[in-house]
Amino acid sequence: MSRFFFNDRKQMVNDAIEGVIISSRFRNLTRLDTDPAIRVVVRKDWKKSKVAIISGGGSGHEPAHVGFVGKGMLTAAVCGDLFASPSVEAVLNAIVAVTGDRGCLLIVKNYTGDRLNFGLAAERAKKHGLKVEMVIVGDDISLPDNKQPRGIAGTVLVHKIAGFAAEQGKSLSDVRDIAQLACDNIASMGVAMQTCNLPGQDGEEGRIKGGQVELGLGIHGEPGANTVNSQNSHEIVASLVKCLREKTGTQARLAVLINNLGATSALEMALLTKELVHSELKDQINYLIGPAALVTALDMKGFSLSAIALNDIFIEALQAEVETVGWQPMVKLEPLSMQKHSVIRAATQAKASENTAVKALVTSITHTLIGQENALNALDAKVGDGDTGSTFAQGARDIAQLNEDDKLPLNDTAALLELIGERLAMVMGGSSGVLMSIFFTASGQKFAKKQPLADALLFGLEQMKRYGGADLGDRTLIDALQPALEALKDGSLNAAVKAAQEGANATAQMQKANAGRSSYVNSDNLKGVKDPGAVAIAEVFAGLTLSK
């Protein structure tokens, strides 16, 4: 099945262009109203008083190229179909539409179709009396023996530097020279663990196997230089950095662009950035651009690094503000900022004490929960994520160990409840740990105010309900705990055991869960299945009668 949202495959690029234009926050984009097959986006505010900067190529690399049209970068972008060069006619129309007496510069990625179509369009434009120059970007260093290195994400840096020079009013030859100088000082390399898919095609198993990454693949999914049997971020970044250093040298001041190839999460891009600034390049990197999606490859799961050796002109150009939707402002690399702060710990300062009856009570509860681990997990697997038993057992093991080591304030009920609450928040994990921590902590605080134990436990329950959002009838452990505590308040443990069991049994007939993971499960899957949290409570109360 296709992995893309679209309506009409033939109109996909046109629809995307319209979406970018109408959503631009600068309101400065327009499309040439001509043959529908000619997709040219231009600056609405362009006056032809300066050198025009035109780029383009196949679509599928968004925000390139339309996302870089605007003051300070491109004057126009010529869009081909997905991964296909725009036609000669489309490029020629773009040149004629935006070029004035100052001329125009074409920035072309080093692919055969782009070189030929942009080149022929330039020659035809010259016959119209227009001044046209062209630079070809070949920043990919992954295949060093290739006489025609591919143009990849580093192209955006050329857009930015050339656009700045044009905005300063420089001549066409000067703009061309500074763009060529940028091309000569940029090195890029990409890596991916999954290649891209094309809209309308069934998703198939890619050539990159699980646990591997491919170094140096192209932005259309072309095979790279080699495959590595690792997905470790530190190792992969180190491999890219080694290649970049060989190209840029070990003394150059650098700005590095961290480019998302389309499907890498923001979390991953952030940690990859961390790896970069701690790599062998750390002493050379002056500035960062990104992490961001700048030149993507549809939904490729990967990233690329582009390093440019800096001079004062490049720094000024890359720092200049622009009015485009796709550019990511360059930032100066500075040491990680850390703010001193004294850690506040809510540790309960309770002295261990002995109480044989309470010790037996704690033993009963913890052993019950540990013993029910597998059964509760199996039950939870039917309605949740299968870890209720492990979660409760994890907390129970911690308390059981403290009990065995005689480290609990067994003769101080308030302190015991609060300490249990503190430990569960630390070791139990997830929302269950926090909820049970609230229950025990609030109960302990209430008992410290000379309230009866049953009242204190009911107060803890109310606080758990308040913060957790669940209530009686919502198919949670509350359906067993609340009736049990209410029965316990009347003085009968046997009644509490019965109430807990009846409450747990009732959850099997509840068609809708209003809290927890079960709230996302279809009601048909809930029918006849008890809530595992409620079952845990019922088992705990049943265990108390056996331990008497």
CA distance 493 to 542: 9
- Pair 504, 479: CB distance under 8 Å: yes
Residue 448 has a pLDDT of: 94
Residue 520 has a pLDDT of: 40
Phi and psi at residue 191, to the nearest 5°: -150, 145
Using CB atoms within 10 Å of the CB of residue 184, give its burial: 0 to 12 exposed, 13 to 18 middle, 19+ buried.
exposed
Residue ranges, the chain, pLDDT below 70: 1-2, 202-205, 343-349, 511-527, 546-548
Residue 207 has a pLDDT of: 83
Strand boundaries in 415-469, DSSP class E: none
- Pair 532, 379: CB distance under 8 Å: yes
Asked if the structure places residue 340 within a domain, the reply is no
Residue 259 has a pLDDT of: 98
Counting DSSP H helices and E strands in the chain, the numbers are: 18, 13
171 and 314 part of one domain = yes
Peptide bond into 63 cis (omega under 30): yes
Look up the CATH number of the domain holding residue 503.
Answer: 1.25.40.340
Asked if the structure places residue 177 within a domain, the reply is yes
Asked if the structure places residue 48 within a domain, the reply is yes
The structure tokens 């025990």 sit at: 440
What are the residue ranges of helices labelled H in 8-148?
12-23, 88-98, 112-127
328 and 378 part of one domain = no
Residue 517 has a pLDDT of: 47
Q: Which of 300, 332, 364 is the last residue of a domain?
A: 332
293 and 375 part of one domain = no
Cα-only R_g, the chain: 33
Asked if the structure places residue 345 within a domain, the reply is no
Q: Which helix (H) or strand (E) holds 479?
A: helix 478-489
Residue 116 has a pLDDT of: 97
Phi and psi at residue 81, to the nearest 5°: -70, 180
Using CB atoms within 10 Å of the CB of residue 520, give its burial: 0 to 12 exposed, 13 to 18 middle, 19+ buried.
exposed
241: containing domain: 9-195+213-332
> For the whole model, what pTM was predicted?
0.77
Residue 398 has a pLDDT of: 95
Does 220 participate in catalysis according to the annotation? yes
Catalytic-role residue among 61, 159, 220, 278: 220
Look up the CATH number of the domain holding residue 243.
Answer: 3.40.50.10440
Residue 451 has a pLDDT of: 93
What are the residue ranges of helices labelled H in 133-264?
155-167, 172-184, 233-248
The pLDDT tens digits for 240-258 are 999 999 999 999 999 999 9
CA angle at 385 for the pair 384 and 388, rounded to the nearest 5°: 85
The pLDDT tens digits for 292-339 are 999 999 999 999 999 999 999 999 999 999 999 999 999 999 999 999
Residue 13 has a pLDDT of: 96
249 and 110 part of one domain = yes
Q: How many domains does the chain have?
A: 2
Structure tokens at 69: 């049209």
